[in-house]
Amino acid sequence: PRVELAWAAKAHQHAQVYFNLISSVEPRFLKLTKVDDRIYEEFRRTFRNLRVDVLDPEELKSEAAK
């Protein structure tokens, strides 16, 4: 249990650091990997009409979304 607690504490600390880093950069300038642009282009090709600024859980569960 002590090892698991230490691991969880360290993971939480790392998560806080990464969250602070990605929160301090304007999203349009944030690049996490070398292929971010390709990932986004493929996402947009697959989900052309999906609004990512406001996600509605009910809309995502609809038959059309499935």
CB contact at 8 A, 20 and 12: no
Residue 24 lies in a domain: yes
Distance CA 27, CA 55 (A): 17
Residue 66 lies in a domain: no
Tally of domains within the chain: 1
Q: What is the pLDDT of residues 19-36, one digit of tens each?
A: 998 899 888 888 888 999
Q: Across the 66 residues of the chain, what is the mean pLDDT of every consecutive 10-residue run?
A: 93 95 88 90 91 84 80
User: What is the model's pTM?
Assistant: 0.51
Domain range for residue 1? 1-61
